[in-house]
Chain A
Amino acid sequence: MPRWGMVIDLDRCTGCQACSIACRTENNVPACGDRNAWKGRAIFWNKVVAVRMDGHGETAHGPHGAAAAHSRPRFRFLPMPCMHCERPPCTMVCPVRATTKNVEGIVMQVPSRCIGCRLCQAACPYSRRYFNWQEVSFPGDLGQALNPDVALRTLGVIEKCTFCIHRFQKVREQARAEDREIREGEYVTACVQACPARARTFGDLDNPSHAVAKLAQSPRAFRLLHELGTGPQVVYLHEGSWQDDSGLPVRDLLSKEKEDHG
């Protein structure tokens, strides 16, 4: 049974946000307009967060990248899909089983079941869940571009990254038709396909032959807020600086130890 996961190489990431747009077009996410955007209601299943790493501005929690060699604003561009945790806090609190952990590791959201109580939203430490604060609107011809494979969400429900489940369903069907397992690279999410810098890799974390499985073991690998014990299935590789090839700053080594000791 595969366990789908993603590895995002922050060293390669350019912060170009192609993933965000790819996700939006693939999953029929509407633009929410200025007023709602300023209210923090813009929906990005996949949001690129600029994290100041140098102490100025707001700093990221969780393991930091290489310490700044010289004083300059250090940004980490953190592409944030749903982490598809192994122990998702959101599925625990959902009162109506609208969000569930799939047997193949995908945290699923069924908007047509959701009652919009926003408990899951509050529970998610990564804030990767989005509530539909206003009507979906695709004025004029924009509706033509909607992806027929993905249903639109009504207002008043939660939606989130589903690892492009509709792609998965098709690929899975094809595999069944040919009576075989799903090949590596056959099922990738829209963001992975779009990423021009190839910062993202997608595949089966439990299958040693898959690239993600190897990358997830890299010394540069870290999981966001792993101290919360959610066990994200989206793994990040932090930046290595140009000179030192050990790559790992102290903080990460420490946090890795923590990881090892449980």
Chain B
Amino acid sequence: MGAFVNGSAGLCLAVLALACSDGEVTQPIPFNHNIHVSKNGLACEDCHEQVFTGPSAGLPRVSVCMGCHDSDITTSQAAAPHIETIRRHSKEGTEIPWVNLYTLPHHVYYSHRRHAKIAGIACATCHGDIGKSETPPRLPIERTLDMWNCIDCHRERGVDNDCAWCHR
């Protein structure tokens, strides 16, 4: 009896602990925003092509990367293997399997065009200063953003919070 009680309690606590920490992801390529944005002064829309034209900003396709990395503009040894990966992908005509972290739940219609272009809100407002980050983010944005962020931001800017504008 006692043993059972102890056992079960211990087990439950263990599972609880396990349940609370969950999946971080690693990108196929540890993309360094800092070098590209801060050092080499690329703009967000250079790689995330549809950020001003479409609902989703879009993850860079191989062709975009190859635009620069076709020639050996990178000298660092650390980056070399990853450059190779990119080239391999472009040779094989496959895309880089980026893990799309910054997707909102599917029942939300969030348009980058609407916010970044029409309303002219800076990317950093939601994405933080990702431009300075050395490694790609590990947590999906759902973990860092929730509806209340949207709602507060909307209220600050005097946008009404009607469900129908965003939910679908």
Q: Do chains A and B directly touch (beta carbons under 8 Å) in the complex?
A: yes
Q: Which A residues are closer than 8 A to B by beta carbons?
A: 97, 100, 102-104, 106, 108, 110-112, 149-152, 162, 165-166, 168-169, 172-173, 176-177
A-B CB proximity, top 9 nearest:
A151-B107, A102-B164, A151-B106, A108-B164, A166-B168, A110-B167, A112-B107, A108-B163, A169-B109
Q: Looking at the complex, which one of B105, B107, B113, B163 makes contact with A100 (CB distance below 8 Å)?
A: B163
Q: Which residue of B lies closest to A98 (CB)?
A: B163
State the total of A-B contacts with C-beta under 8 angstroms: 53
Which residues of A have CB within 8 Å of B162? 100, 102-103, 108
Beyond A102-B162, A108-B167, A112-B167, 9 additional contacts (C-beta under 8 Å) are A111-B107, A162-B168, A168-B164, A169-B165, A169-B168, A172-B165, A176-B118, A177-B117, A177-B118
Write the chain B residue with the least CB distance to A163. Answer: B164
Interchain Cβ contacts under 8 Å between A and B, 6 examples: A110-B107, A110-B163, A112-B167, A166-B168, A173-B118, A177-B113
A112-B105 contact given A102-B164, A151-B168, A169-B168, CB 8 Å threshold? yes
Docked Cα-Cα span, A162 to B168, in Å, equals: 8
For B106, the chain A residues whose CB sits under 8 A away are 151-152
Hey, which chain B residues are within 8 Å of A162, CB to CB? 164, 168
Choose one: A103, A110, A111, A173; the contact of B113 (CB below 8 Å).
A173
Closest residue on chain A to residue B168 by CB atoms: A166
Please determine whether A102 and B163 come into contact, CB atoms closer than 8 angstroms: yes
Assembled-state Cα–Cα distance A97/B117 (Å): 31
A interface secondary structure, majority: loop
B interface vs A, CB < 8 Å? Answer: 105-107, 109, 111, 113-114, 117-118, 160, 162-168
Residues of chain A within 8 A (CB-CB) of B109 are 149, 166, 169
Q: A106 — which chain B residues lie within 8 A by C-beta? A: 164
Residues of B within 8 A of A177 (CB): 113, 117-118
Q: What residues of chain A lie closer than 8 Å to B117, measured between beta carbons?
A: 177
Chain B residue nearest to A167 in the complex (CB): B168
* Closest chain A residue, CB of each to CB of B56: A148
The complex places the Cα of A100 from the Cα of B165 at a distance, in Å, of: 12
User: A168 — which chain B residues lie within 8 A by C-beta?
Assistant: 164
Task: Name, among A103, A111, A151, the residue most crowded by chain B CB atoms within 10 Å (CB to CB).
Answer: A151
State whether B168 touches A173 (Cβ < 8 A): no
Among candidates A97, A103, A149, residue contacting B168 with C-beta atoms closer than 8 Å: A149
Which residues of B have CB within 8 Å of A173?
111, 113-114, 118
Across the two chains, which residue of chain A brings its CB closest to B109?
A: A169
Q: What residues of chain A lie closer than 8 Å to B113, measured between beta carbons? A: 173, 177
| Chain B residues within an 8 Å CB radius of A103 | 160, 162
Q: Shortest Cβ distance from A100 into chain B, in angstroms?
A: 5
CA–CA, A173 to B107, complex, Å?
17
Nearest chain B CB to A227 CB, angstrom units: 28
Interface contact A176-B114, CB-CB below 8 Å: yes
Q: Which residues of A contact B167 (CB under 8 A)?
A: 108, 110, 112, 165
Asked if A150 contacts B118 (CB within 8 A), the reply is no
Cα A82 to Cα B166 with chains together (Å): 20
